[in-house]
Chains A and B, each alone.
Chain A
Amino acid sequence: MRRILFVVQKEFRQIRRTRAYFALIFVAPFIQLLIMGSALTTEVKNVPMAVVDDDRSPLSREIVRAAAATASFDFLGAAASEKDATAMLDDGRARIAVLVPPHFERDVKDLRTPEVQILVDGVDGNSAGVALGYATAMLAQVQTRWAQSMAPPSPDQGAGTITMVPRMWYNANLDSKLNFVPGLVGILLVIVTTFLTAINLVREKEIGTLEQIMVTPLKGLQLIIGKIIPFTILGFAQLTIGLLAAGLVFGIWMKGSLLLLYFLTLVFCFSTLGLGIFVSTLAKTQQQAMFIAWFFMIFAMLLSGFFVPIENMPAGVRYLTYLNPLRYFILILREVYLKGTEFRFLWKEAAMMGAIGAVALVSATIRFQKRLK
């Protein structure tokens, strides 16, 4: 309707006049995308590690060599004693240490199964677990090698080893960027769309223009749609920049259908903008609106599967994520971008986002009374 277009025109004029928006909506996110896309990785690398060798036998030295050779570790060298190793963990110089006990080689050869201890800094449980896994694997490899050399395989035992050949589909180099960049694009989009719409309506309430609009024949729904359209367009612009950045800077180009991506982004914007406007109808001041939006946004980010896989979350929390549009969008970004997934596998996600958006918009329209009771 023509009236909606006038609302759109006004919004755009206002947006254009705010210079800061350009920096905040395009430039800053772009820079953040570049930095975080390049920096973020959940790989555990360069873990500072020390070895305490209380045996100093050929066997124990093999363990030291194996430790030094493991790429994931930043081998610091030998620590003089367990006390030293503990001190290194205490002040953070090392995060993991392997202790080879005295008489190690003798005990191994006498089949007395000596104990090798791994000291690990457990503060960051996740990295610790992974580092522990690497150390354990390293020791297991050493063990297998020795077992084979010590007890030659008999023909009937079938003791050839199994070698696993991993084939990484869609991301041969296990590039973290392919994981994070689509997710970051989604997160940046959420920030912009949710915040800006959340304060938009409240702002009009505060300065009094909303009352002026309520006195006109313009319907609530028309106003809301008129406000959503400009921000959707901004969202698209941001998405496009994100896609270009991903391609030009990171070399990650879209594998799937561009049209599908834009369509699903439309649905996503529909849901976040709807939620933003709904928030706007709840709040009495801009500050309130901002808080609610902020609240929602942090949760959207934390519960989106970006940081922590959703499968790992406890059941109750997992149900909460169903209400989070970002969760679907990040999944969609990954799927369409990296795997080229078609719509028929993604319709459920699209439907959920659409439903969330519809409910939000309907609620906003209902709440937006043109006449107070």
Chain B
Amino acid sequence: MSEADSEGYAVQVSDLSRRFGDFIAVDRVSFGVPRGEIFGFLGANGAGKTTTIRMLCGLLMPSSGSGTVAGYDVIRDYEKIKLRIGYMSQKFSLYEDLTARENMEFYGGIYGLRPAGIRRRIGELLDSLEMGEQADKLVAGLPMGWKQRVALGAALIHDPEIVFLDEPTSGVDPASRRNFWLLIYRLADRGKTVFVTTHYMDEAEYCGRVSIMKSGRIAAIENPQRLKELHGASSMQEVFIKVLSEAEKG
């Protein structure tokens, strides 16, 4: 991977690693995500995707390597990163006993937005996420597809420039998955950088570039179309299998 300068890059990491005792979860990973890109992070479960994201979000300290997110150093300035990024975890991390609106109010507040600003943002988000009717229902009673949107709303409440989405569509029905990706496109259109992990291969096609992780290392990183050409595959599923088996041999 070439070392590009950090200007124009939303995320850039170089030889980023994370060890848990003897287990190397992330092994000298390097890549750069330019602003406005939808970057897909593929890999099987346990490949190191979530660990990488958590390092980028300032939740986990890297064991070695370096990187910047939104121009801030991942190791030293991780708290500063948090203002500029949004994060949506696999678990959706919502308060089930609060309404959608109350969840977003809370997160808006702790991001330091003023009440008027929060109200405005919630209005905007309810619109763009098409959640108007569900706003005042308890999250516990919402089906997965709606919970997913509330979680996204909470992640976007402070209008961050970079959004990290960790398996945002797992357990969600195909129609909702497709709608969700429409929302992601809209985010990218507005200039936001979206960093998505998924294990749905069809979603990989929606990304600008994808990287495939295996056992903590990046086995491939390229535009989906190019990947299919390179490996003579007709679907990302095939690409995935081919890349992984190559990585096995290599």
Q: Touch between A and B in complex, CB under 8 Å? A: yes
Q: Which of A1-59 contact B (CB under 8 A)?
A: 2-3, 5-7, 9-10, 13-14, 17-18
What A residues does B98 contact at CB under 8 A? 10, 13-14, 17
Contact mask for chain B residues 80-109; partner A; CB cutoff 8 A; 1 contact, 0 none:
001101010101111111100010011111
Do residues B107 and A212 form an inter-chain contact, with CB atoms below 8 A?
yes
Report whether B61 and A372 are in contact in the complex, using a CB–CB cutoff of 8 Å: yes
Contact (Cβ within 8 A) B106 A10: yes
Q: How far is the CB of A369 from chain B (nearest CB, A)?
A: 9
Q: Which residues from chain A contact B85 at a C-beta distance below 8 Å?
A: 215
State how many angstroms separate the Cβ of A290 from the closest Cβ of chain B: 19
Min CB–CB distance B193 → chain A (angstroms):
16
Q: Which residues of A contact B89 (CB under 8 A)?
A: 208, 211-212
Which B residues from 171 to 203 make CB contacts under 8 A with A?
A: none
Measured CA separation A213–B85 after assembly (Å): 13
Within the complex, what minimum Cβ distance (angstroms) separates B32 from chain A?
Answer: 22
Task: Compute how far the CA of A9 lies from the CA of B98 in the bound complex, rounded to whole angstroms.
Answer: 11
What's the minimum C-beta distance from A43 to chain B, rounded to whole angstroms? 47
- Which residues, 174 to 223 on A, are CB-close (under 8 Å) to B? 207-209, 211-218, 222
Counting residue pairs across A and B whose Cβ atoms lie within 8 Å, the total is: 83
Give complex CA distance A5, B112 in Å. Answer: 11
**A344 interfacial by beta-carbon distance below 8 Å:** no
Write out the residue numbers on chain B whose beta carbons fall within 8 Å of the beta carbon of A13: 98, 102
Q: What distance in Å separates the Cβ of B192 from its nearest Cβ neighbour in chain A?
A: 16
A18-B97, A211-B93 known; A5+B109 contact, CB < 8 A: yes
Cβ–Cβ < 8 Å partners of B110 in chain A: 3, 6-7, 213, 216-218, 222
* Interface size class of chain A, counting residues whose CB lies under 8 Å from the partner chain: 20 to 34
Residue numbers in B under 8 Å from A373 (CB-CB): 61
Question: Provided the pairs A3-B112, A14-B95, A18-B97 are in contact, do residues A211 and B106 lie with their beta carbons within 8 angstroms?
Answer: no
Tell which of B93, B94, B106, B111 touches A217, judged by Cβ atoms closer than 8 Å.
B111
A371 neighbours in B (Cβ, 8 Å): 58-61, 78
CA distance A17 to B234 in the complex (A): 52
Chain A residues whose CB sits within 8 angstroms of the CB of B102 once the complex forms: 10, 13
Assembled-state Cα–Cα distance A212/B157 (Å): 13
When distances are taken between beta carbons in the complex, the residues of chain A under 8 Å from B82 are 215-217
Task: Establish whether residues B106 and A215, one from each chain, have CB atoms under 8 Å apart when the complex forms.
Answer: no
Distance (whole angstroms) from the CB of A21 to the closest CB of chain B: 12
Tell me, in angstroms, the Cα distance from A17 to B95 when the chains sit together: 12
* Contact (Cβ within 8 A) B111 A211: no
Q: Is the interface of A mostly helix, strand, loop or mixed?
A: helix
Alpha-carbon gap, A6 to B96, bound state (A)? 17
- A370 contacts chain B at the CB level, 8 A cutoff: yes
Give chain B residues whose Cβ lies under 8 Å from the Cβ of A209: 93-95
Question: How distant is B25 from chain A, measured CB to nearest CB, in Å?
Answer: 12
> Which of A5, A217, A372 has a CB less than 8 Å from the CB of B83?
A217
Residues of chain A with a CB closer than 8 A to B83's CB:
217
Which B108-132 residues sit within 8 Å CB-CB of chain A? 108-112, 114
- Shortest CB-to-CB span from A204 to chain B, Å, is 9
Are A372 and B109 in contact (CB-based, < 8 A)? Answer: no
Which residues of B lie under 8 Å from residue A218 when comparing CB positions?
A: 110-111
In the bound assembly, the distance between CA atoms of A296 and B102 in angstroms comes to 34
> Is there an interface contact between B59 and A207, defined as CB atoms closer than 8 Å?
no
By the criterion CB–CB under 8 Å, are B91 and A208 in contact?
yes
Pick from A2, A207, A211, A216: contact of B107, CB below 8 A. A216
Q: Is B57 an interface residue (CB 8 A)?
A: yes
- The answer to the question of B79 belonging to the interface, with a C-beta cut-off of 8 Å to chain A, is yes
Whether B106 and A208, one on each chain, are in contact in the complex, defined by CB atoms closer than 8 angstroms, is no
A373 to B61 CA separation, bound complex (whole angstroms): 5
Asked if B79 contacts A370 (CB within 8 A), the reply is: yes
Q: Quick one: which of B60, B94, B109 contacts A6, CB cutoff 8 A?
A: B109
B152 within 8 A of A: no
The interface residues of chain B lying within 8 Å CB-to-CB of A211 are 59, 89, 93
- Please give the distance in Å from B121's CB to the nearest CB on chain A: 14
The distance from the CB of A12 to the nearest CB of chain B, in whole angstroms, is 11
Instruction: For residue B144, give the distance in angstroms from its CB to the closest CB of chain A.
Output: 15
Select which of A18, A212, A222, A370 is within 8 A of B87 by beta carbon: A212
Contacts of B138 in A (CB 8 A): 17
Pairs across A and B, CB under 8 Å, 24 listed:
A6-B110, A7-B110, A10-B98, A10-B102, A13-B98, A17-B97, A17-B98, A18-B97, A207-B91, A207-B95, A208-B91, A211-B89, A212-B154, A215-B59, A216-B82, A216-B107, A217-B83, A370-B58, A370-B59, A371-B58, A371-B59, A371-B60, A371-B78, A372-B61
Extra A-B contacts (4), CB below 8 Å, given A218-B111, A373-B61: A7-B110, A208-B92, A216-B110, A370-B59
Task: Pick the 4 closest A-B CB pairs, nearest first.
Answer: A6-B109, A208-B91, A212-B93, A208-B93
